[in-house]
C-alpha cells in the first residue's frame, strides 16, 4: 500500500514539458433561467463560467482554486465535454474539441478522464470493483495484453488496493479506498489528462494526504497531466506546478506555484492565502497579515459590474465598478504570473498592523463594536 507515503513540504519541478496539451480560450458557460406562464421564456442566466483562459502542459499539474460556487466544477465539466460551452474554445492536443460531436470526440474522451468529489455516489453500488474499473475498457473496445481482468488487477495494485478484492463491492471499502477505485477507473484508458474535481474534499483529513500522494505518484510516474480542482489552496500547493484562482466565474490570478503563493498580487488570492494556516513556509514572510474573508460570493445571475470581486474587496475604488480589470502580467511579477486587478498588492506583501476585514459592511459594524473580532 502507498498509505505510508508522506506529503513532501514542497514538490520540486517534475520536469513537465512546456508543450501545451490543453488550451482553453474565452471559455464561457451561462445556464439559462426560464420563467413566465403560460409560455416559458428565458428570463436570465447563471453566468457560471465567463471568459476563462487556461492552459495545461503535457504532464503538468495545474490547480484550480476558489470558493464554492465560483465555477470550478463547471469548468471541469466543460473541459471533459460533459457540458456544452456557451462560448469560447477548447483545444486538446492541437485539436479543436469545443463542439466536437460524439464520434469525433471518442478518441479524445479516453484521453481525458475525470475523478469526482464524492467517492460514494460516483461508484455504482451494485457493480463489483472489477466491473467498475473494467467498464471504460469495454465501452471503448480496449483489450489490453493479458486481458482486461489482468489489467484491472494491475490497476488495483497501482492505486494501493489488494488485487484480490476484484470481486468486492464499493460498500466494502472505506472512503479513501473508494476514491482509489475512482483513480483506478480513471487510469483504465491510459489518459493523458485527468480533471480531478475536489478529489479529497469528501474524505477525512487524515486520509486526504494519502490520496493526494497517490495522485502525485500517478502524475509523476505516469506523466499524466492534471487539472486539480480544490477550494483549498493548501491542498493544491503540494500538487500543482501552476495554480489558477477563480472568483465568480473568472480566473482572477494565475501563476507558477512559488510566485503565486509567495507573491500574490490579487487581493482575493492574498485573502485566500491568509486564511490557510498551513501555508506558512520557510521561504515566505512569516508575518503575513491575516485577512478575514467575510460575506458571501454574490450571485452569478447578476454579478457586480467591473471587477466581480469589488463588493468584498477592501481596496475597491470607483474604477473597479466601471472597468473590468484584464488578466495581465504586472510589472514586478514573474513571467507567466497574471493578475486581474486595477490596484494590485505590492510584489512583496508586507505585514499590516491589524487584520483587514474584507467585507465593507462588516468593517463598519466592527468599528461600531457590533461584531466581535476573533
Which residues here bind Mg ion, judged by CB under 5 A?
Answer: 73
- Say how many C-beta atoms besides its own lie within 10 A of residue 119's C-beta: 25
- Least distance CB 257 / Mg ion (angstroms): 22
From the list ligand SF4, ligand ADP, Mg ion, none, pick the one residue 31 interacts with, judged by a Cβ distance below 5 to 8 Å according to partner type. Answer: ligand ADP
Q: Is 284 exposed, middle or buried (0-12, 13-18, 19+ CB in 10 A)?
A: middle
* Residue 73 DSSP SS3: helix
Nearer to ligand SF4, 10 or 302 (CB): 302
Q: Please tell me the number of Cα atoms within 13 Å of 297 on its side-chain side.
A: 16
> Do strands 87-92 and 95-96 pair parallel, antiparallel, or not at all (unpaired)?
antiparallel
In the numeric block, the cell 486539480 is attached to 228
Segment contacting ligand SF4 by CB under 6 A, of 152-160, 183-191, 313-321, 328-336: 313-321
How far is 316 from 302, CA to CA, in rounded Å?
19
How far is 132 from 130, CA to CA, in rounded Å?
6
Contact 361, 295 (CB under 8 A): yes
Q: Fill in the per-residue mask, 120 to 159: x = in contact with ligand SF4 (CB under 6 A), - = not in contact.
A: ----------------------------------------
Q: Is 50 exposed, middle or buried (0-12, 13-18, 19+ CB in 10 A)?
A: buried
Nearer to ligand SF4, 34 or 343 (CB): 343
Q: How far is CA 230 from the centre of its chain?
A: 5
Segment contacting ligand SF4 by CB under 6 A, of 62-70, 278-286, 328-336, 337-345: 337-345
- Which pairs count as long-range contacts for 327-332, CB under 8 Å and 24+ apart, including other chains? 327/53, 327/251, 327/252, 327/253, 327/254, 330/265
- Least distance CB 233 / ligand SF4 (angstroms): 17
343 binds ligand SF4 (CB under 6 A): yes
Q: Fill in the per-residue mask, 295 to 334: x = in contact with ligand ADP (CB under 6 A), - = not in contact.
A: -----x----------------------------------
70 binds ligand ADP (CB under 6 A): yes
273 binds ligand SF4 (CB under 6 A): no
Nearer to ligand ADP, 34 or 314 (CB): 34
Name the grid cell of 147. 486481458
Segment contacting ligand SF4 by CB under 6 A, of 91-99, 112-120, 277-285, 315-323: 315-323
From the list Mg ion, ligand SF4, ligand ADP, none, pick the one residue 55 interacts with, judged by a Cβ distance below 5 to 8 Å according to partner type. Answer: none
Segment contacting ligand ADP by CB under 6 A, of 11-19, 69-77, 89-97, 343-351: 69-77
Contact 224, 59 (CB under 8 A): yes
How far is 245 from 113, CA to CA, in rounded Å?
22
Nearer to ligand ADP, 202 or 356 (CB): 202
How many contiguous H segments (helices) and E segments (strands) does the chain have? 11, 14
Q: Pick the binder of ligand ADP from 10, 17, 68, 305 (CB under 6 A).
A: 68
Q: Pick the binder of ligand ADP from 16, 52, 61, 74 (CB under 6 A).
A: 74
Positions that interact with ligand ADP (CB under 6 A): 31, 46, 48, 66, 68-74, 300
Positions that interact with ligand SF4 (CB under 6 A): 267, 307, 309-310, 313, 315-316, 320, 325, 341-343
Amino acid at each position: 500500500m502507498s498509505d505510508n507515503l508522506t506529503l513532501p513540504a514542497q514538490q520540486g519541478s517534475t520536469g513537465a514539458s512546456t508543450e501545451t496539451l490543453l488550451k482553453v480560450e474565452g471559455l464561457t458557460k451561462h445556464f439559462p433561467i426560464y420563467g413566465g406562464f403560460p409560455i416559458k421564456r428565458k428570463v436570465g442566466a447563471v453566468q457560471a463560467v465567463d471568459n476563462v483562459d487556461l492552459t495545461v502542459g503535457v504532464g503538468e499539474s495545474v490547480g484550480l482554486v476558489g470558493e464554492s460556487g465560483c465555477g470550478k466544477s463547471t469548468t471541469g465539466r466543460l473541459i471533459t465535454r460533459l457540458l456544452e460551452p456557451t462560448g469560447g474554445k477548447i483545444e486538446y492536443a492541437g485539436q479543436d474539441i469545443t463542439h466536437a460531436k460524439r464520434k469525433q470526440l471518442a478518441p479524445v474522451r479516453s484521453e481525458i478522464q475525470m475523478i469526482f468529489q464524492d467517492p460514494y455516489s460516483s461508484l455504482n453500488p451494485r457493480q463489483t470493483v472489477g466491473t467498475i474499473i473494467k467498464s471504460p475498457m469495454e465501452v471503448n473496445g480496449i483489450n489490453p495484453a493479458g486481458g482486461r481482468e489482468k489489467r484491472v488487477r494491475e490497476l488495483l495494485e497501482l492505486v494501493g488496493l489488494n488485487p484480490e478484492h476484484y470481486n468486492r463491492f464499493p460498500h466494502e471499502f472505506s472512503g479513501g479506498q473508494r476514491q482509489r477505485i475512482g483513480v483506478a477507473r480513471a487510469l483504465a484508458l491510459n489518459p493523458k489528462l485527468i480533471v480531478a474535481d475536489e478529489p479529497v474534499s469528501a474524505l477525512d483529513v487524515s486520509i486526504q494526504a494519502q490520496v493526494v500522494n497517490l495522485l502525485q505518484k500517478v502524475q509523476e510516474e505516469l506523466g499524466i497531466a492534471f487539472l486539480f480542482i480544490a477550494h483549498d489552496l493548501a491542498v493544491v500547493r503540494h500538487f500543482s506546478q501552476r495554480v489558477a484562482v477563480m472568483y465568480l466565474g473568472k480566473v482572477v490570478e494565475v501563476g507558477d506555484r512559488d510566485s503565486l503563493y509567495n507573491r500574490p498580487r490579487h487581493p482575493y488570492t492574498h485573502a485566500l492565502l491568509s486564511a490557510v494556516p498551513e501555508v506558512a513556509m520557510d521561504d515566505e514572510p512569516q508575518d503575513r497579515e491575516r485577512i478575514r474573508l467575510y460575506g458571501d460570493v454574490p450571485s452569478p445571475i447578476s454579478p457586480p459590474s467591473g471587477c466581480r470581486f469589488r463588493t468584498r474587496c477592501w481596496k475597491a475604488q470607483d474604477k473597479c465598478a466601471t472597468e473590468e480589470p484584464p488578466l495581465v502580467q504586472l510589472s514586478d511579477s514573474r513571467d507567466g504570473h497574471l493578475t486581474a486587478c486595477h490596484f494590485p498588492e505590492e510584489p512583496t506583501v508586507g505585514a499590516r498592523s491589524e487584520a483587514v476585514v474584507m467585507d465593507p459592511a462588516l468593517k463598519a459594524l466592527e468599528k461600531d463594536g457590533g461584531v466581535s473580532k476573533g
